Structure 1
Amino acid sequence: MRVASYNVENLFSRPAVLNMKDNDHAAEILARIAELTELLKLKSYASKKKRIEKLHKEVKEYISINIRSSNAGRYLFSAESKLLMDGRTEWDGFVDLRRERFSEEQIKFTGKVIKEVDADVQCLVEVESADTLKRFNTDILAARFSDRIVIDGNDPRGIDIALGTVKATPILSARTNIFARDKDGLIFSRDCLEVELGLKKNRRLHVLVNHFKAKDRNKAQSDSKRKRQAAEVSRILKTRYDLKKDLVIVAGDLNDEPDSKPIAPLIKTPGLHNVFDLVDHPLDDRWTYYYGADRQYNTIDYLFVSEALREHVTAAGLERRGMWNLEQLTDGKEKPFKGIDSWKLAGSDHAAIWVDLDI
């Protein structure tokens, strides 16, 4: 059987601020949106009025303000970004990110990657909702996955973790970890989704799908968050499973390199193995993401197997043909799917990864 992991960058739409080529510019806008959101929680806007209006003017094309109730009118800002209310006590609601719908071509290329990988168990990162995955499975994948699961995670942008399986590998149960906490609060930015799958001869396969905190301008804070997440997944593995006996896979986008300190607690978990190590896949050919601003080839998507699965690994690989500019990135060694001639048409900015298991 084949198990795969793929960050699909959402399936039908994406927050407009995230759907741009310049990641640094997107990060700046997100920081301003975060600041605006915090300032709008103030009981009185008097001392921060000019700053609030300036921020709104800078980010208004990327956000919408949803007012659920108000005693001061229907709008918080005028068209010119003039603040129309005096404080949070006058309204109840939230700041949301405006979404842009992907083109049909782009959605089809995302589906093409999944079809080419042809996995029995497909782990997915950045899925909008259960309904979105259901429509994608029906309309694009010809109902490939008989069982699917999506849990609303902790990310306010609506990028969740999901898993789909073919009929021969049914989902038996699932467990979310969105409420996992430590002394610093909620641990997971999205979730660590634990899914139990049924195999022949009444055996079980356990898959833990993750999407760790991304790197951002506050390096110390984001590194700390990923380290907490890595430590918690490791704790889950040690306390809920026997990696010498249980068939366990850890998958997903960990947003950091294999030799990084933040994800070391997971990487160094006894009895857990990177599938590319098991098949001697070249270290310089494991990259799954290209960060253009720094011209870096990043290995941030992973598949790990338990000691009990180690001897059953027969092959592992990557599917990068859904990425834009692939021919230039690989000096002509790899080419994208025909028709991906713009970054806006890429199936994702990540490669899909897969492992074959003889079980």
Structure 2
Amino acid sequence: MSVRIATFNAENLLSRFDFSGFRNELRQDRVSQLYDFASEAQYRQAEIARAVSLTDDTRQMTALAIAEADADILCLQEVESLDTLHRFEYGYLFKMIGDGYRQKVLVEGNDRRGINLALMAREQTLDGAPIEILETTSHAYLSYEEAGVYTPDLEGLAHPNERVFKRDCLEVDLKIGNKRLTVYVVHFKSMGGPRDGIDGRDYSMPVRLAEARAVRKIITDRFGAGGGGKRYVIAGDFNDYSERLVITGDRRNGYDFTPTPAEAGAVEALTDGGFTENVVRRRHDLDRWTLYHTRGPQERHLCQLDYLLASPALTRTSRDRLPDIIRAGQPWRTPFPPGQEVDRYPRTGWDRPKASDHCPVAMSFDLV
């Protein structure tokens, strides 16, 4: 018996409009910046038209990526609400896979933009075992002090009494056949741009490290220091990487992709000591990326931001399994290393529309 688990940052799966760009140009879409609006009412009308016209293609591609991942259990990031998720499933996903994900959980977390974590599950696995969601626990309330993860390098970034998770750590207990499994869905603090002369990853690293350590503490408090031999997966967008493929060259002369290790960060806080395994590292070092980052020709790389970290109890029974990374929803601007090119979904744009800026990651785990 096996269960297939996937994680996907669906990139702003929202059912509301954001009109804040009228008063804050930094929040204004680049198309809107081409025009002068006589009034806020005019801006709102234009923003509604822009968002609606782009959304249909985008969500068709999002649904295609989910369908291609073909998971029994799907962990999602950047979802506004259960109502939004139901509408997306009915209007898009249902047309591709039918009535697949009847079980859904979402708890509103701490993100000020209203992007939350969700989990969807089929009623049975692809090989026929029943799936049951037993319990859902939100850890959005947990503070740095309560988790015991406040460190001096957080001074100026966070207060000990603040909530440690920028979104949440959504803990979901499931029963697959007669086997138990716990899934932790996360979405860690974003890197952001450089601040005070410090690289964005380094500047925000203390916050992500605290989030990762808090997740580890939640698990060890429940199962024991080594995970207690239990089956668990930590799934989500870590907004951090252990390595990058630094890109040089251009379209005319070709690109070069150079694997470049990074200083240890949030990922290592959860893999050190064999606590979990980053299963994507089973793939070749040129073929682990889930996101293309660029700030122009001088700063371009591919990297893994999306993770399935599996406990020893899961990985030792799945040694021969390889994870899949679904890249057909990437925009045409994304440079692919040689041999990795895929057929993009219909109507994919140079930058948009696209399924998401992230790629889904999926893997089947044997439950024995």
Structure 2 length as normaliser, TM-score?
Answer: 0.72
Instruction: Report which of the two structures shows the higher radius of gyration computed on alpha carbons.
Output: 1
Residues 182-331 of structure 1 correspond to what in structure 2 (within 5 A)?
182-183=144-145, 184=160, 185-201=162-178, 203-217=179-193, 218=195, 219=200, 221-242=203-224, 243-258=227-242, 259-263=262-266, 264-268=268-272, 270-277=274-281, 280-293=282-295, 294-313=299-318, 314-325=321-332, 328-331=335-338
Hey, what does 2:107 align to over in structure 1?
151
Whether the 8 Å CA contact 2:315–2:365 is kept in 1: the answer is no
1:7 and 1:56 mapped to 2: Cα distance? 28
Secondary structure of 2:323 counterpart: strand
1:60 and 1:340 mapped to 2: Cα distance? 24
1:60 and 1:262 mapped to 2: Cα distance? 29
Secondary structure of 2:210 counterpart: helix
Hey, what does 2:68 align to over in structure 1?
116
- Structure 2 counterpart of 1:206, which letter? T
Whether the 8 Å CA contact 1:2–1:121 is kept in 2: the answer is yes
In structure 2, the CA distance between the partners of 1:2 and 1:180, relative to structure 1 (3 Å rule), is same
Whether the 8 Å CA contact 1:244–1:306 is kept in 2: the answer is no
Secondary structure of 1:229 counterpart: helix
Q: Does 1:178 align with 2:140?
A: yes
Runs of 4+ in 1 over 6 A off after TM superposition: none
- Structure 2 counterpart of 1:166, which letter? R
Displacement of 1:79 in angstroms is 5.8
1:60 and 1:296 mapped to 2: Cα distance? 25
1:340 and 1:246 mapped to 2: Cα distance? 41
Displacement of 1:15 in angstroms is 6.6
1:281 and 1:345 mapped to 2: Cα distance? 28
Whether the 8 Å CA contact 1:126–1:161 is kept in 2: the answer is yes
- Structure 2 counterpart of 1:148, which letter? K
Hey, what does 1:128 align to over in structure 2?
80
In structure 2, the CA distance between the partners of 1:331 and 1:339, relative to structure 1 (3 Å rule), is farther
Whether the 8 Å CA contact 1:253–1:300 is kept in 2: the answer is yes
- Structure 2 counterpart of 1:306, which letter? S
Write out per-residue CA displacement over residues 204-261 of structure 1, whole angstroms, 9 at most, x where no aligned residue. 1100000000001344552111111011011112111242421100000000112543
CA RMSD of aligned residues (A): 2.7
Write out per-residue CA displacement over residues 4-42 of structure 1, whole angstroms, 9 at most, x where no aligned residue. 00110022557769xxxxxxxxxxxx9xx9xxxxxxxxx
In structure 2, the CA distance between the partners of 1:182 and 1:150, relative to structure 1 (3 Å rule), is same
Whether the 8 Å CA contact 2:166–2:188 is kept in 1: the answer is yes
Hey, what does 1:93 align to over in structure 2?
none
Provide structure 1 residue ranges, at least 5 long, that are not aligned to the other structure. Answer: 18-29, 34-54, 63-77, 81-96
Whether the 8 Å CA contact 1:326–1:334 is kept in 2: the answer is no
Residues 68-87 of structure 1 correspond to what in structure 2 (within 5 A)?
none
Displacement of 1:271 in angstroms is 2.7
- Structure 2 counterpart of 1:343, which letter? D
Displacement of 1:283 in angstroms is 1.9
Between the aligned residues of both structures, percent identity stands at 30
Displacement of 1:268 in angstroms is 1.5
Provide structure 2 residue ranges, at least 5 long, that are not aligned to the other structure. Answer: 30-37, 41-46, 125-130, 146-159, 243-261
Write out per-residue CA displacement over residues 179-204 of structure 1, whole angstroms, 9 at most, x where no aligned residue. 01024221001001000111112x21
Whether the 8 Å CA contact 2:290–2:304 is kept in 1: the answer is yes
User: How many residues matched?
Assistant: 290
2:27 and 2:364 mapped to 1: Cα distance? 47
In structure 2, the CA distance between the partners of 1:12 and 1:260, relative to structure 1 (3 Å rule), is same
Secondary structure of 1:141 counterpart: helix
